[in-house]
């Protein structure tokens, strides 16, 4: 496959008219907001393939873009002013043509420009033309003369030769330095003809850095009867060789991963490749390590937590056809993997599959489209499927495979609901850990078992308010109050949206009264409370704040798995997929955090989070217990999560979605207009609403709700107004909206369009 070979002459002759050109290409350049650009292929230059990189002039700049379409002159009506390509960088497609197609589909479906979509499919470094700048390393190896044991050398040189004697392939200069062999010794040996030094390309290997403590899987162990039946069905579907989709609905700990592995091996044996998507960066190495046990070095990983270099190397390995399995997060759905026969989306309900910048795609849905185009099997796995996926399974659009029991017949955790109103009455209004949870943690610490405590809110306190004027300390850029991080002198107040931060003042900035109080609490406060109430416990916290440094998340999880931490306090990050056999207690502090939000998915999200986190307990030999603290103990999403009754939750939630006309019964497009003033944002949004209504006065295709100030009415200094389009004809909704917004390019830049939003907040 081609590296960056220049296969055509470079031309800067721009005086020629388009009549001279016969072939044109449309090119996507990774610049947000730019539409496809058309260029001519100059005579004498071989027309580039779809997916090849080309260098194009744009204004006074030269940019590298990807060929999206090759067109004959007849289809380029007004060729005037079309400039020729500067050069073609690849003889073969750099991006496989099916991935180019997928990017186009993504751009269109999610109402994004081709620039955004092509950015999503490119590996990080090609954006700035350092495309193939691989890291190289000096590798030192012995010559024949160097292998002579009697050759006359100094003691230090002898030591160096001994190190090299064991390594036929040679040893990198970095490794030699680590073993105390200096560069000076190497060059002396080189001059004496005893060693040779060569430059070798090294693929930065992210596996090396990650903790690969996955429990080895016994390839011969017997499947449970349910697993067996499920695998049979999946194999059958994969053998069809055409597009199929299946929901693998298995309770936590039912052994879904085992099925992914065996199914993948069968697909590989049939000569096709596997794409495995996982929601969380932290889960990638763990899952990849499991796949490595079966597929060895033919596994690549792709996620945004890798350095650009690592990601680029992995991407190139995939592109060169050196791997059979790609394990990655959302963006891995665009991997340049050929002959894809199976796409697995694990924890398909997870919110992190949705990208929150343009293109606002859902990796799960793009995966389904990719599988469809590739004639592959798509497997969506979850213990708590999204409403959309379950709806499709119920309609017969997807096959549904059920694993109702945990492996080894381990029971699901027993769940205790603590009504916090009673707890406040008994223990006072400042209680954070209920008696049941406190005692439960202490008992686990004593027995040498582990506990997880979840609170889906970061920080120490959620607000600071003044007792005299009851004002709060708010962000100056956003419509939210600042969150307190740290304690005592190290206290900072920070905005979780724009990162603005300031020291917590001693007096109220408004009325100068010295009566500031903290309200609400987050993970930091829970961590402090656990430490205070269980002084013998080793306590750690896992949230976005405690894992900012690269590698710290993996390290923390490894420590917990190794039993060096007794109690892990954290946000929803700890609820995901991890398999910790020694955890026997899960506590949920404020199970209702999400329910107060005016979002149509609030109940679904709460149900999923509670079911998932309760599923973390009792995955080993000892049965698990969950303690759920709430002030709404009778809310259906809390109650049904405690009974782990998915079907009942689905039925109940569908009533609400039907009554309110929400997905999965209708489609939704959320639109947010930003402006410097609220009035300006309102004006623009009102115009869009009016034009939308004009286009469909009888409301046959859609209804428009709004405009209204967005729930976060001010963000990073800009005012935001929202309108919602609801309807059954998604294409019509999108096309009408896009035409109206793009009719005013200045407005388009300030308008965010979110197709199939996960949240309308
Ligand atoms: P899920 O992904 O459904 O939550 P996992 O695949 O993580 O469940 O499986 C839970 C645990 O059971 C893992 O430790 C896994 O190694 C183990 N396991 C899976 N299948 C079997 C089996 N057939 N026999 C014994 N142990 C199994
Ligand atoms: Zn802010």
Which range of 142-146, 348-352, 712-716 scores highest in mean pLDDT? It is 348-352
Please compute the mean of the pLDDT values over residues 172-178 and round it to a whole number: 75
CA 463 – ligand 2 centroid, Å: 13
Q: State whether 256 and 383 are in the same domain.
A: yes
Q: State whether 606 and 626 are in the same domain.
A: yes
Residue nearest to atom 18 of ligand 1 (CA): 255
Q: Which residue has the higher pLDDT, 411 or 500?
A: 500
Residue 132's pLDDT is 40
Which range of 148-162, 304-318, 386-400, 616-630 scores highest in mean pLDDT? It is 386-400
**What is d(CA 335, CA 273) in angstroms, rounded to the nearest whole number?**
12
Closest approach atom of ligand 1 to CA 257: 6
Q: Which residue has the higher pLDDT, 277 or 192?
A: 277
Q: What share of the chain is helix, strand, coil (3-state, %, to 5)?
A: 35, 25, 40
Q: Is 620 in the pocket of ligand 1 (CB under 6 A)?
A: no
Q: Is residue 468 part of a domain?
A: no
Please compute the mean of the pLDDT values over residues 525-540 and round it to a whole number: 95
Q: State whether 550 and 586 are in the same domain.
A: yes
Inform me whether the pLDDT recorded for 12 exceeds 90: no
Inform me whether the pLDDT recorded for 544 exceeds 70: yes
How many Cβ atoms from other residues are within 10 Å of residue 18's Cβ? 18
pLDDT digits (tens, 9 = 90+) for 42-60: 988 888 999 999 999 988 8
Q: Is 612 in the pocket of ligand 1 (CB under 6 A)?
A: no
With beta carbons less than 8 A apart as the criterion, state whether 754 and 730 touch. no
Q: Is residue 493 part of a domain?
A: no
Q: Is 579 in the pocket of ligand 1 (CB under 6 A)?
A: yes
pLDDT digits (tens, 9 = 90+) for 654-693: 999 999 999 999 999 999 999 999 999 999 999 999 999 9
**What is d(CA 120, CA 331) in angstroms, rounded to the nearest whole number?**
7
Q: State whether 442 and 588 are in the same domain.
A: yes
Inform me whether the pLDDT recorded for 216 exceeds 60: no
Q: Is residue 651 part of a domain?
A: yes
Q: Is 328 in the pocket of ligand 1 (CB under 6 A)?
A: no
Q: Is 252 in the pocket of ligand 1 (CB under 6 A)?
A: yes
- For the chain, report the end-to-end CA distance as a whole number of angstroms: 46
- If one counts the domains in the chain, the total is 5
Inform me whether the pLDDT recorded for 482 exceeds 70: yes
Among 83-97, 125-139, 417-431, the minimum mean pLDDT is found in: 125-139
Beta pairing, strands 61-72 & 23-28: antiparallel
Beta pairing, strands 492-494 & 501-503: antiparallel
Residue 285's pLDDT is 76
Q: Is 30 in the pocket of ligand 1 (CB under 6 A)?
A: no
Dump the DSSP string for 452-472: EEE-S--SSBSEEEETTT--B
Residue 326's pLDDT is 96
CA 259 – ligand 1 centroid, Å: 9
With beta carbons less than 8 A apart as the criterion, state whether 350 and 315 touch. no
Domain final residue pick, 393, 408, 423: 408
Inform me whether the pLDDT recorded for 263 exceeds 50: yes
Query: For helices 602-614 and 646-660, what crossing angle results, to 10°?
Result: 170
With beta carbons less than 8 A apart as the criterion, state whether 384 and 347 touch. no
Q: Is residue 299 part of a domain?
A: yes
Question: Global pTM?
Answer: 0.83
Strand ranges in 511-605 using DSSP code E only, listed in sequence order: 516-519, 539-542, 567-570, 583-588
* 233 confidence band (pLDDT: 50, 70, 90): very high
**What is d(CA 724, CA 657) in angstroms, rounded to the nearest whole number?**
16
Residue 48's pLDDT is 93
Contacts for 707-712 with beta carbons within 8 Å, 24 or more apart? 707/673, 707/682, 709/678, 709/682, 710/672, 710/761, 711/598, 711/760, 711/761, 712/478, 712/479, 712/480, 712/497, 712/761
**Which range marks the domain in which residue 334 is found?**
207-408
CA 619 – ligand 1 centroid, Å: 9
CATH number, domain containing residue 301: 3.40.50.300
Q: State whether 677 and 712 are in the same domain.
A: yes
Residue 397's pLDDT is 97
Q: Is 255 in the pocket of ligand 1 (CB under 6 A)?
A: yes
CATH number, domain containing residue 55: 3.40.1440.60
Among 37-41, 160-164, 444-448, the minimum mean pLDDT is found in: 160-164
Residue 384's pLDDT is 95
With beta carbons less than 8 A apart as the criterion, state whether 54 and 131 touch. no
Inform me whether the pLDDT recorded for 761 exceeds 80: no
Q: Is residue 761 part of a domain?
A: no
**What is d(CA 594, CA 578) in angstroms, rounded to the nearest whole number?**
22
Q: State whether 227 and 362 are in the same domain.
A: yes
Residue 128's pLDDT is 41
pLDDT digits (tens, 9 = 90+) for 321-361: 999 999 999 999 999 999 999 999 999 999 999 998 899 99
Q: State whether 609 and 748 are in the same domain.
A: no
Question: Of the bound ligands, which one is closest to the alpha carbon of residue 481?
Answer: 2
Residue 78's pLDDT is 66
Residue 288's pLDDT is 86
Q: Which residue has the higher pLDDT, 136 or 90?
A: 90
Q: State whether 398 and 422 are in the same domain.
A: no
* Alpha-helical runs (H) found in 562-713: 602-614, 636-642, 646-660, 678-695
Phi and psi torsions of 585, nearest 5°: -135, 130
Average pLDDT of the residues of the chain: 87
Residue 497's pLDDT is 85
With beta carbons less than 8 A apart as the criterion, state whether 343 and 376 touch. yes
Q: Is residue 500 part of a domain?
A: no
Q: State whether 677 and 598 are in the same domain.
A: no
Q: State whether 370 and 393 are in the same domain.
A: yes
**Exposed e or buried b for every residue in 149-164, given b needs 16+ CB within 10 A?**
eeeebeeebeebbebb
With beta carbons less than 8 A apart as the criterion, state whether 484 and 495 touch. no
With beta carbons less than 8 A apart as the criterion, state whether 629 and 418 touch. yes
Residue 183's pLDDT is 85
What percentage of residues in the chain have a pLDDT greater than 70? 91
With beta carbons less than 8 A apart as the criterion, state whether 588 and 560 touch. no
Which range of 60-74, 187-201, 478-492, 524-538 scores highest in mean pLDDT? It is 524-538
What percentage of residues in the chain have a pLDDT greater than 90? 54
Q: State whether 220 and 339 are in the same domain.
A: yes
Q: Is residue 499 part of a domain?
A: no
Residue nearest to atom 26 of ligand 1 (CA): 407
Q: Which residue has the higher pLDDT, 295 or 201?
A: 295
Residue nearest to atom 5 of ligand 1 (CA): 255
**What is d(CA 381, CA 251) in angstroms, rounded to the nearest whole number?**
10
CATH number, domain containing residue 739: 3.30.70.600
Domain final residue pick, 173, 201, 229: 201
Q: State whether 212 and 197 are in the same domain.
A: no
Inform me whether the pLDDT recorded for 105 exceeds 50: yes
Q: Which residues, including other chains, have CB under 8 Å from residue 452's CB and lie 6 or more apart?
A: 567, 568, 569, 570, 574, 580, 583, 585, 586, 587, 613, 616, 617
Please compute the mean of the pLDDT values over residues 686-710 and round it to a whole number: 94
Q: Is residue 676 part of a domain?
A: yes
């Amino acid at each position: 496959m081609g590296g960056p070979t220049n296969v055509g002459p470079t031309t800067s002759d721009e005086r020629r008219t388009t009549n001279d050109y016969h072939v044109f290409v449309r090119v996507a350049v990774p610049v947000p907001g730019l539409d496809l650009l058309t260029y001519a292929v100059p005579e004498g230059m071989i027309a580039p393939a779809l997916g090849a990189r080309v260098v194009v002039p744009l204004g006074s700049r030269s940019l590298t873009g990807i060929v999206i379409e090759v067109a004959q002159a007849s289809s380029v009506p007004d060729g005037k002013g079309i400039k020729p390509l500067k050069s073609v960088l690849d003889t073969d497609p750099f991006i496989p043509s099916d991935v180019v197609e997928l990017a186009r589909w993504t751009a269109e479906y999610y109402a994004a420009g081709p620039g955004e979509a092509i950015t999503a499919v490119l590996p990080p470094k090609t954006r700035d033309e350092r495309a193939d700048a691989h890291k190289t390393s000096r590798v030192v190896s012995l010559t024949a003369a160097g292998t002579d044991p009697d050759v006359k050398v100094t003691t230090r040189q002898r030591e160096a030769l001994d190190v090299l004697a064991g390594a036929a392939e040679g040893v990198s200069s970095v490794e030699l330095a680590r073993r105390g062999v200096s560069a000076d010794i190497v060059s002396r040996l080189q001059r004496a003809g005893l060693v040779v030094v060569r430059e070798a390309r090294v693929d930065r290997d992210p596996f090396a850095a990650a903790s690969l403590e996955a429990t080895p899987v016994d390839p011969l162990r017997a499947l449970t009867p349910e697993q067996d039946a499920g695998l049979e069905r999946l194999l059958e579907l994969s053998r069809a060789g055409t597009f199929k989709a299946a929901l693998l609905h298995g309770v936590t700990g039912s052994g879904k991963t085992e099925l992914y592995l065996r199914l993948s091996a069968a697909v590989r044996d049939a000569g096709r490749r596997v794409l495995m998507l996982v929601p969380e960066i932290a889960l990638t190495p763990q899952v990849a390590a499991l796949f490595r046990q079966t597929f060895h070095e033919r596994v690549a990983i792709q996620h945004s937590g890798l350095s650009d270099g690592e990601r680029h190397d992995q991407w190139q390995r995939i592109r060169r056809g050196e791997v059979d399995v790609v394990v990655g997060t959302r963006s891995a759905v665009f991997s340049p993997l050929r002959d894809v026969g199976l796409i697995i989306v694990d924890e398909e309900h997870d919110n992190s599959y949705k990208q929150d910048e343009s293109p606002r795609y859902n990796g799960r849905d793009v995966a389904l489209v990719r599988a469809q185009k590739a004639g592959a099997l798509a497997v969506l796995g979850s213990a708590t499927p999204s409403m959309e996926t379950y709806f499709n399974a119920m309609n017969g659009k997807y096959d549904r495979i059920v694993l109702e029991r945990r492996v080894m017949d381990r029971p699901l955790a027993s769940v205790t609901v603590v009504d916090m109103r009673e707890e406040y009455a008994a223990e006072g209004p400042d209680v954070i850990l209920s008696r049941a949870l406190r005692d439960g943690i202490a008992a686990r610490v004593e027995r040498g078992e582990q506990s997880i405590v979840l609170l889906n809110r970061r920080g120490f306190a959620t607000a600071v308010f003044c007792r005299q004027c009851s004002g709060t300390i708010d962000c100056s850029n956003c419509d939210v109050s600042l969150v307190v991080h740290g304690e005592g002198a190290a206290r900072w107040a920070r905005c979780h949206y724009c990162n603005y931060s300031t020291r917590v003042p001693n007096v109220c900035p408004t009325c100068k009264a010295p009566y500031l109080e903290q309200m609400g609490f987050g993970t930091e406060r829970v961590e402090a409370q656990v430490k205070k109430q269980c002084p013998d416990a080793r306590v750690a916290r896992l949230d976005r704040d405690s894992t900012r440094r690269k590698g710290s998340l993996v390290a923390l999880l490894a420590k917990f798995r190794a039993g060096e931490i007794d109690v892990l306090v954290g946000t929803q990050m700890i609820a995901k997929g991890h398999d910790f056999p020694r955890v026997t207690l899960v506590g949920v502090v404020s199970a209702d955090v999400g329910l107060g939000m005016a979002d149509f998915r609030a109940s679904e999200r709460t149900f999923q989070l509670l079911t998932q986190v309760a599923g973390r307990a009792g995955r080993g030999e000892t049965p698990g217990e969950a303690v759920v603290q709430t002030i709404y103990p009778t809310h259906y999403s809390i109650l049904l999560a405690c009974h782990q009754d998915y079907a009942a939750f689905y039925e109940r939630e569908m009533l609400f979605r039907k009554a309110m006309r929400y997905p999965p019964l209708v489609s939704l497009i959320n639109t947010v207009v930003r402006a410097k003033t609220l009035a300006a944002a309102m004006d623009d949004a009102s115009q869009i609403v009016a034009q939308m209504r004009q286009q469909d006065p009888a409301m046959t295709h859609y209804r428009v709700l709004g405009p209204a100030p967005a729930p976060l009415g001010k963000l990073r200094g800009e005012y935001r107004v929202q309108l919602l389009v609801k309807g059954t004809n998604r294409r019509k909704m999108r096309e009408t909206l896009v035409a109206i917004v793009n009719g005013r390019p200045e407005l388009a830049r300030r308008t965010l369009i979110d197709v199939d939003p996960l949240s309308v907040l």
